[in-house]
Amino acid sequence: MALQLRPNCEYCDKDLPPNAVDARICSYECTFCADCVDNKLHNVCPNCGGGFVPRPIRPATERRPGVCVTKQLPSDKRVHLKYSVEDVAAHSARLRDVPPQDR
C-alpha cells in the first residue's frame, strides 16, 4: 500500500505536490509543511502527538512496472485541522519538550 501523499499542509493549506521536499508526515500520514512543523507545531502532530519525518518523494519515472507517481496517484483530497489554532498551540506546548520516542 502506498502513502496517500496528501496535497496540502493541514495547518496553513500550503500546496505540497508529490515532489515537495518540505512536506512532513507523522506515522498516521498527517501532512504538514516544514515551516509549520518547525515554527508552529514544534515537531508535535496536533492529531496524534507524534513527531514528524520528511515525506518520501514518489518517483516521477516508472523504473519498475506500475511504480511511479502517474501509476499510483497521490491523493487530491485536501485535509485541514480539526482542532482550533489555540488548542493546537496548547497541545504542542504540553508535548514539545518530550522526545517523540517517549510520547
Residue 18 located in a structural domain: no
pLDDT tens string 6-54: 999 999 999 999 999 999 999 999 999 999 999 999 999 999 999 999 9
Q: What is the pLDDT of residues 62-84, one digit of tens each?
A: 999 999 999 999 999 999 999 99
- Dig out the grid coordinates for 47 from the structure: 492529531
User: The domain containing residue 83 runs over which residues?
Assistant: 23-95
DSSP 12: T
Total-model pTM:
0.92
The verdict on residue 4 lying in a domain is no
**What is the number of domains present in the chain?**
1
- In-domain check, residue 54: yes
Burial 75-86 (b: 16+ CB within 10 A, else e): eeeebebeeeee
Residue 67 lies in a domain: yes
Q: Let me know how long the chain is.
A: 103
In a domain, 1, yes or no: no
- The answer to the question of residue 39 being in a domain is yes
On whether residue 50 sits in a domain, the answer given is yes
Residue 71 placed within a domain: yes
Burial of 101 per CB tally in 10 Å (0-12, 13-18, 19+): exposed
